[in-house]
Amino acid sequence: MKDHTKEDELARKDREINSLKLQVEEVKKLAAINERLLLASIKEQERLLNELSKRSELILKKGLEIRELQAFNDIIAVASRHLYIKDILENSLEATIGSLESLEEAVGRKVKVSGGIFLADEHAGELVHFTSCGIAQEALGCKGRIPVGECICGMVAQTGKVDVIPYCNASRHMQGRHPVCMEEDHAHVSIPLKSGDNVLGLLYLYFVPPGYLQLASDATIFTSIGNYLGLRIEKARLYEKVQELAILDGLTELYNYREFHNRLGHEFQRAKRYKKALPLVMIDIDHFKRFNDTYGHLAGDEVLRSMGRLIRESLRSVDIPARYGGEEFAVILPETAPEQAEVVAERLRSSVADHPFSVEGRNVSLTISLGLASFPHDAETKEGLIKAADRALYCAKSGGRNRTYRFSSGRKPCRRVTRAEQE
């Protein structure tokens, strides 16, 4: 009986041991499964994190590219609103600087950007300073003129390619021409302004602090800005030329008849509003028909060209000379006293009388007659002023030519202006 009991006890213990072994095996299998799951989870998380990081970089990159494209569009919009070179370049420069500061801020850099624009002088082979923002021309190391091929800007004008220098003080191309106002180091970006292969100017930018990190898309954006502004410069010059042709006489390069009346109307209203004197001088070349009959119309045209140059050289920059028609000219003298207008008229008469006109290899003398009238002394309207000056011119011609007459509302309609009166 006892033997049976022992056997049963041993059998029970064996079953318990086997059961525990089975449980241990199950735990090992379960642990292995859990370990595999955990490793798979970690790898999956790493994969997801890597993918997320790549997507974040892509989003950041795309975001910057979108910002750059938006900045380029903003610059285009600013440049497109203007017709004249001065307005185009001044406003485009401000827009470029503002956009670049915003783009730098978007990547976590606080940067101060300044710069300016040079225009190319093809005859001198130089870049000439045109406008700036945040830095004065006087502060530039080059003082506003750079020979093409020298210094950073001159070299970029020669190559026609965008140049970015992160640390300017380390560049061997500055040739001692660092900006006076920038003794500390700075980055330097040079953008040629091109129309086709022709470099019309250059946009330069200073970045403080230095170390400007150029993105792959920056060069493309900079090049696009330079090409667009170059195209706008060319179109603006063409527009200004067309405008100039519309208001200038093609032979003498003085204002034409229509523009004379526009300017006289404007100056008359201004003189009336501010109670200022406004003299008008009418001029006629003496015996010009006889000259044309003797030497021909080609020689006559050359005389008219020379006459236009002599008139311009005898006047102030604020005076308004015009070809009134044929051999007749007119000069508006804003804010000039009648007595001073007499001096101007006599100086002009003398310069023509003393000038040798070259015709067929020999010098020929010519003279002019001048009539002078002034608002408000001699007329109260624009038409009345022209009529009074024309009347004085008639008196000068009938009085012997090569002389100046001033309109008078007294008994005698005009009186002669003599050199003795000028002295």
Every domain of the chain and the residues it spans: 68-239, 257-422
* Percent above pLDDT 90 for the chain: 51
Confidence label for 1 from pLDDT (cuts 50, 70 and 90): low
Three-class SS state of 340: helix
Is the per-residue pLDDT at 420 higher than 50? no
Whether residue 127 is predicted with pLDDT greater than 90 in this model: the reply is: yes
How high does pLDDT run on average in the chain? 84
Q: What is the pLDDT of residues 175-184, one digit of tens each?
A: 545 554 555 7
Per the annotation, the verdict on 327 as an active-site residue is yes
Half-sphere exposure in the Cβ direction for 423 (13 Å, CA): 3
Ramachandran region of residue 111, left (φ > 0), alpha (ψ -120 to 50) or beta? beta
Looking at per-residue confidence, does 356 or 36 come out higher? 356
Give residue-wise pLDDT tens across range 78-92: 888 888 899 999 999
Say if residue 201 is exposed, middle or buried (CB neighbours under 10 Å; 0-12, 13-18, 19+).
buried
Which CATH class for the 257-422 domain? alpha beta
Question: Residue 277: pLDDT band by 50, 70, 90 thresholds?
Answer: very high
- For the chain, the straight-line distance linking the first and the last C-alpha, in angstroms and rounded, comes to 164
Q: What is the pTM of this model?
A: 0.61
Homologous superfamily of domain range 68-239: GAF domain (3.30.450.40)
pLDDT at residue 70, as a whole number: 75
Q: Which of 327, 339, 383, 421 is catalytic?
A: 327
User: Would the pLDDT of 338 be above 90?
Assistant: yes
pLDDT at 35 over 90: no
Helix and strand totals (H; E) in the chain = 10, 14
Q: Which helix (H) or strand (E) holds 39?
A: helix 2-80
Give the model's pLDDT for residue 59: 45
Q: Is the pLDDT of residue 251 over 90?
A: yes
**pLDDT tens-digit profile of 187-207?**
889 999 999 899 999 999 999
**419 pLDDT higher than 80:** no
Quote the pLDDT of residue 289.
94
